[in-house]
Amino acid sequence: MTPETAGLTLRHTGADESLELRQQILPVYAAARADRLDKPWYSPDNFWSRLVDIHSKARDFDLVTGWVNGEVIGYAFGSPQDTEDLWDKIHHCLPHLTPTGPVYIFREFAVHPSQQRRGYGAKIHRELLRPRREQAAHLLVRPDNEAARAAYHRWGWVKVGTNRPFQDSTTFDALALDLQTFKSNQ
Please check whether residue 170 is in contact with residue 142, taking contact to mean a CB–CB distance below 8 angstroms.
Answer: yes
Quote the longest CA-to-CA distance of the chain. Answer: 44
> Of the candidates 177, 176, 170, 107, which has an alpha carbon nearest to the alpha carbon of residue 142?
170
Q: Which of left, alpha, beta for 43 (phi over 0: left; psi -120 to 50: alpha)? A: beta
Per-residue pLDDT of the chain (186 residues; tens, 9 = 90+): 344 456 899 999 999 999 999 999 999 999 999 999 999 989 999 999 999 999 999 999 999 999 999 999 999 999 999 876 899 999 999 999 999 999 999 999 999 999 999 999 999 999 999 999 999 999 999 999 999 999 999 999 999 999 988 888 889 999 999 999 999 887
Number of domains observed in the structure of the chain: 1
Rounded to the nearest angstrom, the gap between the alpha carbon of residue 80 and the centroid of all alpha carbons in its chain is 12
pTM over 0.85: yes
Q: Say which CATH number the domain at 107 has.
A: 3.40.630.30
For the four alpha carbons of 151, 23, 37 and 177, in that order, the dihedral sign comes to positive
> Of the candidates 170, 176, 133, which has an alpha carbon nearest to the alpha carbon of residue 153?
176
Q: CB count, 10 Å around CB of 169?
A: 16
pLDDT at 6: 65
> Of the candidates 2, 1, 14, 7, which has an alpha carbon nearest to the alpha carbon of residue 119?
7
> Of the candidates 93, 98, 96, 108, which has an alpha carbon nearest to the alpha carbon of residue 162?
93
Q: Give residue 148's domain range.
A: 4-184
Strands 71-81 and 103-111: antiparallel
pLDDT at 72: 98
pLDDT at 2: 44
Q: At what angle do helices 22-32 and 44-53 cross, to 10 degrees?
A: 130
